[in-house]
Amino acid sequence: MNAIHDNEYGRRLSRLQQTIRNLQADACIISTSVNQFYLLGHIFDGYIYLLPDGEPLLFVKRPAGITGGRVNYIRKPEQLPELLSQSRIELPQRVLVECDSISYSAISRLQSALGMPELINVSGEIRRIRSIKSEYELEQLRRSADIHAAVYRQIPHIYREGMTDIQFQIELEREMRLAGSAGIFRTFGENMEIFMGSILAGENAQSASPFDFALGGEGLSPLLPIGANGTKLIPGTTLMVDMAGNYTPWMSDMTRTFAIGEVPEIAHRAHRLSIDICNAIAGTARPGTPCADLYALAEEMVKKNGLADFFMGTKQQAKFVGHGIGLEINEPPVLAPRSKELLECGMTIAVEPKFVLPAIGAVGIENSYIVQQNGLEKITRYEEELTSLS
Amino acid sequence: MNAIHDNEYGRRLSRLQQTIRNLQADACIISTSVNQFYLLGHIFDGYIYLLPDGEPLLFVKRPAGITGGRVNYIRKPEQLPELLSQSRIELPQRVLVECDSISYSAISRLQSALGMPELINVSGEIRRIRSIKSEYELEQLRRSADIHAAVYRQIPHIYREGMTDIQFQIELEREMRLAGSAGIFRTFGENMEIFMGSILAGENAQSASPFDFALGGEGLSPLLPIGANGTKLIPGTTLMVDMAGNYTPWMSDMTRTFAIGEVPEIAHRAHRLSIDICNAIAGTARPGTPCADLYALAEEMVKKNGLADFFMGTKQQAKFVGHGIGLEINEPPVLAPRSKELLECGMTIAVEPKFVLPAIGAVGIENSYIVQQNGLEKITRYEEELTSLS
């Protein structure tokens, strides 16, 4: 593991402190795991209390044993006013909180405890801050992508004739874990449940899911309706592999598709188009490129090839072709028709033009890229062609 | 899979409708996966809109293809007033929502969309409703527990001399998945992150974690500080196995501990005390028993045996000895000193008196029980003694 630069956390905290000042707020309170990890490198049950300047205060319920000058142990948020007062800090009038991720109950209780300050939602702004990666973070992403590729190299060895999608997935999950996968796969938002990734075989690729991922799948149980459903891998169908790249905290995202035996010509044609779209986007995208333009480029290529009915699903079609990646698998920016975002240097995006072909399955690829000054750097380096498993 | 009784969902919905009437509310809006699954048997992105009487309305964003007389497709919550009006339903004045699980942003937006009705938090009440299981649900729990035991029977075959905790865990995860584990492991609350369960070996059992589980562990990464951390399984230490029982939607919870070679006498003594506490609780608990009394019983036995310093951790000690189980792993009731809950017939609880012994590791067991009219029915039937792996 690379040593993390001393100034890495300082840089992240000061970007958030700039936001506090810009929004003329008095404090920002952080209690989600993902943002605590981002700002301090560790997770605790409690609050990071960040002022417009200076070191953050930590109000910690658990774990025991966190030390440092500005650490206060608490049992409940109602203790904050007195502890702030002891540190000669006034109660905030305007406070930034993570309204998109923290429950209504928890935020309401915190607001009452602090004497009802005005709340400003900081979730989107922290996600924007996180979307621009440092060199250290980019190195983590590249390392994750390299391991991701090494794991996918096991796919031909895992495949056995007559397997089901879930039997295949279980063996791939084991390879992932042996390669250092963290297991949990962090997503943003209330409708993004998944377990370690998605395997889609044959007709199951058409099943619409309730979650906001590119494709669906019925899942094994109505309790988690996404991905593999026990479909047997049979000749003439495809196997799409889109498993998590969580080998470092900064996650890569990569999809590859395999043919079971021989598949119809349209599968090869649509798969080739997916590769071409990725290449076209990679050839066009620069810092400053509107994300909506990249979606439009993909859409135009799809229409020109007469494959619009199969693009990003059939019964339900996702209206995006890519998304930011990082500590969560769905970060800004989003490559969607109505996106107002422009690419910036240091952003990291996954591009996933996919097709679902009735009676065949899903085809296409997904690559992860870093937005560099002179264009996109592809970090998911693994054979892209539709190769046959047998 | 047993066929689900037709009246199962009707019974659940009418219990919640009774709550709506009791709280003199006009409607209850459900949007968490776990409660949607509980009330309807499927999950969607959108809202169940439940009136004090009659069939629920569904406002669905995704997936495509949900049919039924009372299904309305929507893009956003702002469409609710018009659709309610079309169904001749007045905007609610008082509405029950899941404040403990839905984000501040999502609930605030919904409240605005509905013209700012008064909000009442229904999270706790639904959890109380869910805590009393039907015969069908108990059958699911028993089935999960039986598979849970069958998977633990593989433990002696998985163990290899010189393994690390995580190498052991990965092979056990594979056995779990092959036996039908759903993978994801649903918890309630903002501080309950975990992946498929916990394996604690040797000194790692002392590491305090930020999460509200019985024990801790450093984890493999500061991104998920819980459980296995790469500790080698060495003679004289223990291996505690507390992996998820998610083989049906209703989860069992079971811990077993194994000695690596020979372990000191205190490990056997503390482990025996854990079994004795489970048996004492099982021998005492009846419908009507205060949960706090069961904690007090455990605590008294621990003190009498001089093991209080090691009970439920060392550096950080959890203040409970058991908890409800079901669709989430931490349901009501909680067996804790300040619990005001009484056991009721049909509740399902896990009892987990555990000890952490410095330089040795964690010992103890956890069993799942059903509260029956005449006492506790143990459903986790698997050897409880501290047996040696070699």
Give the H or E element holding residue A33.
helix A33-40
Taking an 8 Å cut-off on Cβ atoms, the answer to whether B208 and A182 are in contact is: no
Q: How many CB pairs below 8 Å do chains A and B form together?
A: 172
User: Cβ–Cβ of A225/B43 closer than 8 Å?
Assistant: yes
User: Which of B64, B65, B170 is closest, CB to CB, to A174?
Assistant: B170
| Domain boundary assignment for chain B | 6-129, 132-389
Contact yes or no for B41 and A222 at CB 8 A: yes
Nearest alpha-carbon partner for A194 in A329, A29, A305: A329
CATH fold for domain A6-129: Creatine Amidinohydrolase; Chain A, domain 1 (3.40.350)
Q: What is the mean pLDDT of residues B11-37?
A: 97
| Separation between Cα atoms, residue B276 and residue B280, nearest integer Å | 6
- Asked whether the beta carbons of B212 and B334 are under 8 A apart, the reply is no
Structure-token match 């395999």, residue found: A258
What's the rounded mean pLDDT across residues B324-346?
A: 97
Percent of chain A with pLDDT over 70: 98
The answer, yes or no, to whether residue B105 has pLDDT greater than 50, is yes
Taking CB atoms and an 8 Å limit, are B223 and A249 in contact across chains? yes
Calculate mean pLDDT across residues B62-73.
91
Q: Tens of pLDDT along B69-98? A: 799 999 999 999 999 999 999 999 999 999
| Confidence check: pLDDT of A134 > 80 | yes
With 0-12 CB in 10 A as exposed, 13-18 as middle and 19+ as buried, what is A85?
A: exposed
Strand B252-253 relative to strand B375-378: parallel, antiparallel, unpaired?
unpaired
CA distance A278 to chain B (A): 27
Distances (CA, A) of B383 to A345, B251, B257, B323, B364: 58, 19, 10, 22, 12
Biggest distance spanned by C-alpha atoms of chain B: 73
* pLDDT-based confidence at residue B67 (cuts at 50, 70, 90): confident
For the stretch A162-217, pLDDT in tens is 999 999 999 999 999 999 999 999 999 987 899 999 999 999 999 999 999 999 99
**Mean pLDDT for chain A?**
96
- Longest Cα–Cα distance of chain A, Å, equals 73
pLDDT band at A1 (very low <50, low <70, confident <90, very high): very low
Q: Which among A76, A104, A190, A193 is the top mutation candidate for probing chain B, defined by the most B β-carbons within 10 Å of its own β-carbon?
A: A104
Nearest to B177 among A33, A173, A315 (CB): A173
Share of chain A above pLDDT 90, in %: 96
pLDDT tens digit string along A229-241? 999 999 999 999 9
Q: What is the DSSP string of B220-278?
A: SSTTS-SS--S-B--TT-EEEEEEEE-SSSS-EE-BEEEEES---HHHHHHHHHHHHHH
Per 3-state DSSP, chain B is made up of helix, strand and coil in percentages (nearest 5) of 35, 25, 45
CA distance B308 to chain A (A): 18
Phi/psi at B257 (5° precision): -120, 145
Residue A258 parent element (H or E) = strand A256-260
Q: Which of B104, B123, B243 to mutate to test the interface with A (most CBs of A within 10 A)?
A: B104
Return d(Cα A315, Cα A332) in angstroms, integer.
26
| Dihedral sign from CA coordinates of A241, A246, A248, A250 | positive
Identify the pLDDT of residue A190. Answer: 83
In this complex, the residue of A97, A107, A193 whose CB is nearest that of residue B33 is A193
User: CB distance A220–B180 less than 8 Å?
Assistant: yes
> In angstroms, what separates the C-alpha of B100 from chain A's closest C-alpha?
5
Closest to A363 measured CA to CA, from A314, A324, A292, A329: A314
Question: Domain A132-389: which topology?
Answer: Creatine Amidinohydrolase (3.90.230)
Please give the average per-residue pLDDT across A27-44, as a whole number: 97
| Confidence band, pLDDT 50/70/90 cuts, at residue A67 | confident
Contact B174 A178 (CB under 8 A): no
How far, in Å, CA of A197 to CA of A227, rounded? 8
In this complex, the residue of B37, B210, B316 whose CB is nearest that of residue A223 is B37
Select from B104, B170, B315 the Cβ nearest to the Cβ of A99.
B104
Given a contact cutoff of 8 angstroms between Cβ atoms, the answer to whether A139 and A2 are in contact is yes
What's the number of CA atoms in the CB half-sphere (13 Å) around residue B149?
15
What's the rounded Cα separation, in Å, for the pair B50 and B32?
14
